[in-house]
Amino acid sequence: MTATQPNQAGLTSAEAKRLQDKYGKNELSPQKKERFLKKVFHIICEPMFLLLIAAAIIYFILGEPRDGAIMLIFVAGIISIDVIQEWKTDKTLHALKDLSAPHITVMRDGKEQQIASADLVPGDLMMICEGVKIPADGVVLRCADLCVDESSLTGEAEGVWKIPTESTEPAKDYWRRDCCYAGTLVTQGTATVQVGQIGAQTEYGKIGLGVAAAPQEDTPLQKQTGKLVKTCAIIAGALFALVAVFTWFNIPDHPFADRLIESILSGVTLAMAMIPEEFPVILTVFLSMGAWRLAKKNSLVRKLPSVETLGAVSVLCVDKTGTITMNQMTVQETWVATGTEQALIETMGLGCETDAYDPMEKAMLRCCQAHGISKERLFANALVREYAFTNELKMMGHVWRRDGELVIAAKGSPERILMICELTDAQRNAAEAEIRTLSAQGLRVIAIASAHPENESAIPASITDCRLTLLGLVGLADPPRASVKADIAVCSRAGIRVVMITGDNGMTASAIAKKIGIPGSENIITGEALERMSDAELREAVKTVSIFSRVIPEHKMRIVKAFQENGAIVAMTGDGVNDAPALKYADIGIAMGKRGSEVSREAADLILMDDNFTTIVETVRDGRRIYDNIRKAVGYVFTIHIPIAFASLLAPFLGIAPAALLLLPLHVVLLEVLIDPTCSIVLERQPAEEDIMDRAPRDPKEQLLTGRLLGKSVLQGIFVFAASFGAYFLTLSGDPVNAPAARAMGLSIIMLANLFLVQVNSSNHDFAYRSAQRLIKDRVMWAVNLGTIALLAVILYTPVSAYLKFAPLTVTQLFTAVGLAAASVLWYELVKLAKKRKFKS
Ligand code: ADP
Ligand code: MG
């Protein structure tokens, strides 16, 4: 760690800007945008729109271009709503992508800064460390223990130990040891790298790897509703034929062409009313808005399907250190075995990395400082050898030359350190007793040992070959986060099991688990025991055990599998490079935004920006809320389509003349313009039900549209149908002259009922007035409600009404309509009341 480079300060922002203008962004392929017209075309190809356009064309053929034109205006309206909605979701998803895009630390303007990897320019000084996926090619200026996995580039599985560029070793291979390459992975150490090539100019870019990004796949719910829409379309097709034939026989006195066209038109109206084309829109809007709302709460969703899976999570596997605890360690206890406390602490310091980033080592160095041993003093001498820390060994060491004398300073888990120490039985027993005492307090215990080899040739090749003197133990406290206890109680009520995974020893883990209220804190599976278990044994064991200690990342995968085989939906946290497979395998892989490695973030479904357990629980709650709201919206869409569909279905059977129908295609479109935005806006905003975390996780196999939900929707729909169609039928009293007034009556009732319906269906338990109250200050909700009323006023009481074949309602009629609309929906409040009564008793 020498070498003073001329450009320590890195680039200035102005230089970086200039270089970016010259070389472009650090991306393999610039993001493509879908063309606007293509999008519109995509929407028009949906069956619903084909029907609408067909209806408009029929109007033109019928010689009613005015009706056809109005129809097309509405179609344009619906298309714009759809386009706006899609544009908004696209924007949201892009913004989310940018948030979770890789970042890198660089030196700019003389300061260390985090920038998006895409903004790297040639000449930048980037700092890389363990877990970073290198974003550009460059030369290594300084490095410490830098080991890089270049297998993605060279196929070579063995890690490459890098050297600084000024080293005298001749560069003979194509893959240089003093360079780092984009797309490769830092598995150990730290370095400062000066960026050379970016984007497509990198070796990685030249191979053309990773250019084709995976397309966004449909989520399980999207697939489910896709099927649902198809089923509905098939039924609609059959009913279309039925209604068309019936109408044909109903109007024998019309001329042939008229008869044909009227028949088709009646059929089309029904088909339009039957296709729930809102479903796909609801899903994209709810899921992407959900992801957006989560992002604002520190939880970044990387894959849209995760939003729906979240609500079904039944097991939460979390790392103890940093997620459950604050990751703010302090040396709390010391126990001296040999020598003085001062010597123990100094050796502990010598065993730390010179540029420590591990919170535990930082705590140790702080402790040294407090005892008057500065970092400068500790690391002033020459480092002769390093025994690197590995998850398997759980210990590490340094060999220093201090004042002409060689010192091995080792630290690590007591089990391992004690194995390489020379101890009498009495000493060993004393140490082990102390380890138990410290662990039982929930402290992480680290053993410190040292030796003084005669000369360099007497330094053992590996740490396990050392014979050391045990100097003593230190106990480090890492207090649990304040909110964790309450969160675990919430999880218990919500039927979610919290499983703690840690590299610490069992007693420490157990003590912490007890502190935060994880049930069964005395049952522990250690990494060793886990290794001896068969998959079947582990599957049995995880039914009761919630604590895993002395675990290495590779074990996490088996733990996830065991839970999944028991039918659980598993969320698993991870931060290290080796956690990536388990994160991929879990239903919800959660990476840490702060201390996590880039690789773990890339493998994860969710990135936790604040590394906080509370945020995980909040995210699960939101997942449940979003799913709830999707179900509410789907139920609502079903309900509101029923009066429309039944009206068009029933009319021909009642012998109503085609011109006197309650709903002409025109009016169906008018209603569609209203329905779509109402539900996707108002229901999307609904806050969580109060009992949302008091019920068990949803069964992952459960269908979105259950029999119960369908039953409720159909019943509600029938009531609205009865009110609207009844009012229409009575006003019509068999005379087509009354059609405009009758239609105005029926349609106003549907539109007003729609307003009430959204409020009533906002919550499954709470009364409509409560739901309305909760969103009383929500401007969007007011806009939707007042918008409906304004629309009603326009279509009834302005010249527009004649174009739409309405007659203005009298005051009595209007009040009747309001009353009927309210009654047709609000009866459901009585059902809620009855349910509440039953629940109480
Ligand atoms: P966790 O999963 O709880 O973060 P780790 O895997 O980081 O645990 O650490 C597991 C064990 O390895 C620790 O309990 C400690 O005994 C040992 N250990 C961790 N980091 C170091 C280190 N820097 N030096 C020595 N020992 C360490
Ligand atoms: Mg750790």
Following DSSP, what letter does each residue of 28-39 receive, concatenated? SSPPP---HHHH
What is the model's pLDDT at position 576?
83
**728: nearest Cα among 656, 781, 822:** 656
> Does position 194 have pLDDT exceeding 70, yes or no?
yes
DSSP codes, 706-735: -HHHHHHHHHHHHHHHHHHHHHHHHHHTT-
Does residue 64 lie within any of the structural domains? no
Ligand 2 centroid from CA 243, angstroms:
69
What CATH number has the domain bearing residue 580? 3.40.50.1000
> Does position 144 have pLDDT exceeding 80, yes or no?
yes
Instruction: Answer yes or no: 319 catalytic.
Output: yes
Which string of b and e fits 649-663 if b means at least 16 CB within 10 Å? bbbbeeebbbebbbb
Question: What confidence category does residue 170 fall into, taking pLDDT thresholds of 50, 70 and 90?
Answer: low
Residue where a domain stops, chosen among 154, 184, 207: 207
Does residue 331 lie within any of the structural domains? no
In terms of domains, do 362 and 466 share one? Answer: yes
Nearest residue (by CA) to ligand 1, atom 23, is 361
**Biggest alpha carbon distance in the chain?**
117
- State the Cα angle at 510 between 504 and 516, rounded to 5°: 110
Does residue 526 lie within any of the structural domains? yes
In terms of domains, do 377 and 406 share one? Answer: yes
pLDDT > 70: what percent of the chain?
96
Question: What confidence category does residue 5 fall into, taking pLDDT thresholds of 50, 70 and 90?
Answer: very low
Tokens of 262: 């009227």
Q: Which domain holds residue 362?
A: 339-473
> Does position 763 have pLDDT exceeding 60, yes or no?
yes
- Over residues 166-185, the mean pLDDT reads 76
Nearest residue (by CA) to ligand 1, atom 17, is 394
In terms of domains, do 703 and 816 share one? Answer: yes
In terms of domains, do 143 and 195 share one? Answer: yes
What CATH number has the domain bearing residue 148? 2.70.150.10
Radius of gyration of the chain (CA): 34
Q: What's the length of the chain? A: 841
What CATH number has the domain bearing residue 832? 1.20.1110.10
In terms of domains, do 173 and 228 share one? Answer: no
Q: Which of 82, 319, 579, 628 is catalytic?
A: 319
What is the model's pLDDT at position 332?
95
- Over residues 276-292, the mean pLDDT reads 86
pLDDT > 90: what percent of the chain?
52
- State the Cα angle at 168 between 164 and 171, rounded to 5°: 80
Closest-approaching ligand to the CA atom of 388: 1
Closest-approaching ligand to the CA atom of 597: 2
**pLDDT tens track for 294-331:** 999 999 998 888 998 999 999 999 999 889 999 889 99
DSSP codes, 94-133: HHHHHHHS-EEEEEETTEEEEEEGGG--TT-EEEEETTPB
**pLDDT tens track for 574-620:** 988 888 889 999 999 999 988 888 888 888 999 999 999 999 999 99
Which residue type occupies 659?
Answer: A
Residue where a domain stops, chosen among 567, 586, 611: 611
What CATH number has the domain bearing residue 367? 3.40.1110.10
Does residue 58 lie within any of the structural domains? no
> Does position 211 have pLDDT exceeding 60, yes or no?
no
Does residue 810 lie within any of the structural domains? yes
Asked if residue 509 lies in contact with residue 321, where contact means CB atoms within 8 angstroms, the answer is: no
In terms of domains, do 652 and 789 share one? Answer: yes
Q: Higher confidence at residue 365 or residue 670?
A: 365
- Over residues 666-689, the mean pLDDT reads 83
Distance between CA atoms of residues 828 and 750, nearest Å: 16
Closest-approaching ligand to the CA atom of 409: 1
Which string of b and e fits 668-693 if b means at least 16 CB within 10 Å? bbbbbbbbbbbbbbbbbbbeebeebb
In terms of domains, do 650 and 771 share one? Answer: yes
User: Among 130, 357, 389, which residue has the most ligand 1 atoms within 8 Å of its CB, making it the best to mutate?
Assistant: 389
**pLDDT tens track for 649-677:** 888 788 888 788 888 888 888 888 887 77
In terms of domains, do 709 and 804 share one? Answer: yes
> Does position 739 have pLDDT exceeding 60, yes or no?
yes
Residue where a domain stops, chosen among 552, 583, 611: 611
Ligand 1 centroid from CA 145, angstroms:
18
Ligand 2 centroid from CA 513, angstroms:
17
Asked if residue 494 lies in contact with residue 695, where contact means CB atoms within 8 angstroms, the answer is: yes
Does residue 330 lie within any of the structural domains? no
Q: Higher confidence at residue 808 or residue 65?
A: 808
Does residue 415 lie within any of the structural domains? yes
Containing H/E element for 671?
A: helix 665-678
Tokens of 124: 């930048």
Most confident of 175-179, 351-355, 571-575, 651-655: 571-575
Look at 6-20, 737-751, 793-807 and tell me which has the smallest mean pLDDT.
6-20
What is the model's pLDDT at position 212?
46
**pLDDT tens track for 455-501:** 999 999 999 999 999 999 999 999 999 999 999 999 999 999 999 99
> Does position 266 have pLDDT exceeding 70, yes or no?
yes
- Over residues 717-722, the mean pLDDT reads 96
Tokens of 525: 């599976």
* Nearest ligand 1 atom to alpha carbon 353: 23
Ligand 1 centroid from CA 506, angstroms:
13
In terms of domains, do 414 and 532 share one? Answer: no
SS3 at position 165: coil
Does residue 62 lie within any of the structural domains? no
In terms of domains, do 688 and 835 share one? Answer: yes
Look at 4-8, 296-300, 378-382, 519-523 and tell me which has the smallest mean pLDDT.
4-8
What is the model's pLDDT at position 210?
45
What is the model's pLDDT at position 6?
46
Q: Higher confidence at residue 435 or residue 669?
A: 435
Ligand 2 centroid from CA 78, angstroms:
54
In terms of domains, do 444 and 505 share one? Answer: no
What is the model's pLDDT at position 639?
92
Which string of b and e fits 314-324 if b means at least 16 CB within 10 Å? bbbbbbbbbbb
Number of domains in the chain: 4
Look at 48-52, 518-522, 796-800 and tell me which has the smallest mean pLDDT.
48-52
Distance between CA atoms of residues 347 and 403, nearest Å: 15
Ligand 1 surroundings by CB, under 6 angstroms? 319-321, 358, 360-361, 389, 391, 394-396, 411-413, 444, 446, 502-504
What is the model's pLDDT at position 655?
80
* Nearest ligand 1 atom to alpha carbon 508: 14
DSSP codes, 800-825: HHHHTT--PPPHHHHHHHHHHHHHHH
In terms of domains, do 246 and 278 share one? Answer: yes
